[in-house]
Structure 1
Amino acid sequence: MTNSKKWLLTSALAVGLASGALAEELTVYTAVEAEDLARYAEMFNADHPDIQINWVRDSTGVITAKLLAEKDNPQADVIWGLAATSLLLFKSEGMLEPYAPEGVELLDPKFVDQSDPPQWVGMDAWVAAICYNTVEAGALDLPVPTSWQDLLDPVYEGHLIMPNPNSSGTGFLDVSSWLQIFGEEGGWEYMDGLHNNIARYTHSGSAPCKLAASGEIPIGISFAFRGAKSKAAGAPIEIIVPTEGVGWDMEATAIVAGTDSLEAAQTLVDWSITRAANEMYNTGYAVVAYPGVAQPVEHFPENLAEMMIDNDFEFAANNRSAILEEWQSRYDGKSDPK
């Protein structure tokens, strides 16, 4: 079973509960890395053993499309760990249940929807980065890139991979950030040049770094957390923060409007913003919603936070469909089969 198809991994299985059916079940849609779901469920169930989580997990683009397709007949109760740009889109479509979770006033305000009551709350931020395999790139005499523009050098032709933004939240934050960094016309010109050097587009945001870490490709455009995790496991990679700045997005949480399990959904969302939950997020993310919680993550670039662009989430959310349609018309021919 692939990570992207681990549908319905229940928290009961994750924590090894053997007491039979729990009192209440929640269907939770997520794009959290599959390897982390058991840990999330285990920690939640330590405080709330009477609520069973049924995970529906896939990449950001797939989960976003699934929720939109189910708009008139929602199947999820809660979204826990999906890009804030997607939640802004759902908010505009009237798909979210307004709710101010207990303790929301303790969070960094930039991680909280500005509506009163808020319709979503942020968890953590993930940030774009380049994963450079020092062994494989060295064998090919590929220079270490220091900027996004460096990646246009013909020396990298066929040696780069990045995520497809239609499938991957990381891919979308890359594309939307380039349109902000270089301007709309300059952004598409940049991606035209980059496309010449791309070997293929993956459907997972973490895959380019994982493939770079394993030596299957010298350079992958991915996100810093995945690079740090691979480097900690011994992979010969460097995590590069381009000098122009890097795109980022928040993982966020919301209740799906119309849920039949509102009280249990509110319980989960209350727990998802606690200090304990944010300490759990900090295991992999250097920036979390709860001030004073974040500790340095091993192998994260020291200047990462200061290189995060002033991301216009409204621009990204409001133009998502048009951006994805344009990207697909230009570059989808190099995408991996679905």
Structure 2
Amino acid sequence: MQRTHRAQKIHLDVTGLSLCAEHNSATLNPRNKACAMKTLTSLSLALALLLTAPLALAETTLTVYTALEADQLKAYQAKFEAENPDIKIKWVRDSTGIITAKLLAEKANPQADVVMGLAASSLLIFEKDGMLQPYAPKGVELLSKAYVDDRTPPAWVGMDVWGAAICFNTVEAAKQGIKKPESWKDLTKPEYKNKIVMPNPASSGTGYFDVSAWLQIMGEKEGWAYMDKLHDNIAQYTHSGSKPCKQAAAGEFPIGISFEYRAAKIKDGGAPIDFGVSKRRPRLGSRSHCDYERQQKPRSSEKTRRLVSIKIGQRAV
């Protein structure tokens, strides 16, 4: 609507310039000169507004790539857009593996402005490839050094942690006569064959985190042997880390390997699940945020980082 109005104004100003000149085709008298100068000034301003309109529109949208859960994004977006009504966030959300692959594929032609809520293991790859813009957000000094890049300023900063969890449907388990597993190794027992779902480590950050942690805890030889046995009991590998817990809650399978945030949300919603971490649990994983090298919208990107920094300051990891 605004651009139509500007186009009409340009048309009127050009018409006005023609009317100023038509009284004397050879020379312009002082009155006509003043008219012409006034019209030319208006024309220049109108053209400037029209030509800069696409740039102004482009600066109002900030593209943020993330692997956070969809229901987690609402709080960030509501607060950010309330404080910055002229900037809209465009989320590009998927599982960690998909977002990581997408960013690597777009390395030569970046589409993201900010990367938020992605596993630190992925950001280490981006940092090595020179894809990140270093930045020290407010409150970074409150974080444990284990959750911050050791460079100054850091290329990435941790924003939260998450832990693996076993979601156990008590109703379905009772129907099938199986007991709750008390450790990761319990999941390899024959009674759990085709009773377990877990995230695919090739696409899910949660799945990758599980594999990495098992190898660190058990050692490489014992860890791979454990996963071979566990594989025999897996009924399905899922694309995302939250789906196994959702499936367990729905009664599709009695056991789902997932993470504690989704398990707690589902249990709070009334689902008949019990959840917990193994007695010999995988380490916590860190999800981080960073500024992407694209840097076409530095002011908007900085505002997004400040929003995340608020969360950092309120809850030091």
Opposite residue 188 of structure 2, the aligned amino acid is: L
Shift of 1:248: 2.5
CA 1:216/1:278 → structure 2, altered by over 3 Å: closer, same or farther? farther
Distance 1:92 1:261, change over 3 A: same
Residue aligning to 1:36: 72
Q: Say which of 257, 261, 267 aligns to 1:231.
A: 267
Per the alignment, in what secondary structure is the counterpart of residue 296 of structure 2?
coil
Q: Distance in 2 between matches of 1:270 and 1:255?
A: 11
Corresponding letter in the other structure for 1:169: G
Distance 1:278 1:218, change over 3 A: farther
Contact 2:77/2:89 (CA < 8 Å) preserved in 1?
yes
Give percent identity, aligned residues only.
Answer: 53
Following the alignment from structure 2 to structure 1, what is the Cα–Cα distance between the partners of residues 274 and 138? 40
Between the aligned partners of 1:267 and 1:105, the Cα distance in structure 2 is: 19
Residue ranges of structure 2 left out of the alignment (5+ in a row): 1-55
Query: 1:209 matched to which residue of 2?
Result: 245
1:254-265 equivalences under 5 Å are 254-265=290-301
Deviation at 1:249, TM superposition (A): 1.3
TM-score, with structure 2 as normaliser: 0.79
Q: Distance between the aligned counterparts of 2:188 and 2:142, measured in 1?
A: 44
- What's the RMSD between the two structures over aligned residues? 1.7
1:289-311 deviation digits (Å, cap 9, x = unpaired): x26xxxxxxxxxxxxxxxxxxxx
- Which SS does the other structure have where 1:123 is aligned? strand
Distance across 1 between alignment mates of 2:140 and 2:61: 24
Distance 1:24 1:85 in 2: 31
Match in the other structure for 2:161: 125
Distance in 2 between the 1:175 and 1:34 partners?
24
Instruction: Please tell me whether Structure 1 or Structure 2 has the larger radius of gyration of its CA atoms.
Output: 2
Distance in 2 (CA, whole Å) between partners of 1:54 and 1:34 is: 13
Give the TM-score normalised by structure 1: 0.74
Measure how far apart 1:244 and its partner are.
Answer: 1.3
SS at match of 2:163: strand
Could you say if the C-alpha distance between residues 226 and 63 of structure 1 is closer, same or farther in structure 2, counting changes exceeding 3 Å?
same
Q: Does structure 1 residue 198 correspond to structure 2 residue 242? A: no
Alignment-derived partner of residue 8 in structure 2: none
Distance 1:22 1:256, change over 3 A: closer
* 1:51-87 CA distance string (max 9 Å, x none): 2111101111100110111111111010011111111
1:148-196 CA-to-partner distances (Å, cap 9, x unmatched) read 1100100000000100011100000000001111111111100000000
Q: Greater shift after overlay, 206-215 or 238-247?
A: 238-247
> Which residue identity is paired with 1:101?
P
| C-alpha separation in 2, matches of 1:51 and 1:110 | 33
Partner residue of 2:205?
Answer: 169
Which residue of structure 1 aligns with residue 17 of structure 2? none
| Equivalent residue number for residue 157 of structure 1 | 193
Kindly provide the CA deviation profile for residues 198-222 of structure 1, in whole angstroms up to 9, marking residues without a partner as x: 0010001000001101111100000
User: What amino acid is the match of 1:222?
Assistant: S
Match of 1:54 among 90, 109, 114: 90
2:158 aligned with 1:137: no
Q: In 2, Cα distance between the equivalents of 1:187 and 1:161?
A: 19
The corresponding residue for 1:183 is 219
Within 1, Cα distance between the matches of 2:305 and 2:153?
14
What code does the residue aligned with 2:268 have? A
Aligned-pair CA distance for 1:278: 6.5
CA shift at 1:23, angstroms?
5.2
Q: Which structure has greater helix proportion?
A: 2
- Give the CA deviation at 1:22: 8.4
Q: Could you say which residue in structure 1 is the equivalent of 2:305?
A: 269
Contact 1:213 1:236 in 2 (8 A): yes
Q: Displacement, 1:259?
A: 2.0
Q: Identify the residue that residue 79 of structure 1 maps to in structure 2.
A: 115
